[in-house]
Amino acid sequence: MKRFAWVASLLVVCFWVAGCASGPKFADISSSFQTLQPNQGRIYIYRTAVLGAAIQPEVSLNGEVIGKAVPEGFFYADRMPGNYEILTSTEVDRKLSLTLNSGQVRYVRLDISIGFFVGHVYPVLVEDEIGKKEIQECKYVTYEKPPAEPQKKEPGETIK
């Protein structure tokens, strides 16, 4: 029985660790990020919550997927000033709308709440001071877009 408990605990820890981000910490890597262009703003998106580690929905910015909600992970996007919508989808969609000005840096935290079948990940706009502090221990996660499906070739069409 003791052995079973030990193995179960080990498995839980393995799943826990596997679900978390593994890149370099913000504090170590942020200085190497590209300097923000004067005509752009930056949005940092991060997740501190480890609860519900298996739930890692994609995060989209104005319809474009830019990352995943990895526990203890962060990523960022530089964009032109304007209006933006950040969306996460689990069993429901959760949206945050925000404005972005030139030179402005905004911090968006991905929180988790109880869902019906799975937890809900939702984006929250936080104060700069809070964002700057909380993101320090988060690890940089990159997002690779899935390869685009090959276009169907029409009969008789030559490949250019």
Q: Which residues bind another protein (CB under 8 A)?
A: 41, 83-85, 91-92, 94-99, 101-106, 115-117, 120, 122-128
* Strands 73-79 vs 139-140: parallel, antiparallel or unpaired: parallel
Smallest distance from the beta carbon of 37 to another protein, in angstroms? 14
Its sign, for the CA torsion 102, 27, 110, 22, is positive
Q: Which amino acid is at 5?
A: A
Smallest distance from the beta carbon of 46 to another protein, in angstroms? 15
Report the residue number, 100 or 138, with the smaller CB distance to another protein. 100
Smallest distance from the beta carbon of 14 to another protein, in angstroms? 31
Q: Find the angle CA(17)-CA(2)-CA(51) to the nearest 5 degrees.
A: 25
Report the residue number, 9 or 97, with the smaller CB distance to another protein. 97
Longest dimension (CA), the chain: 69
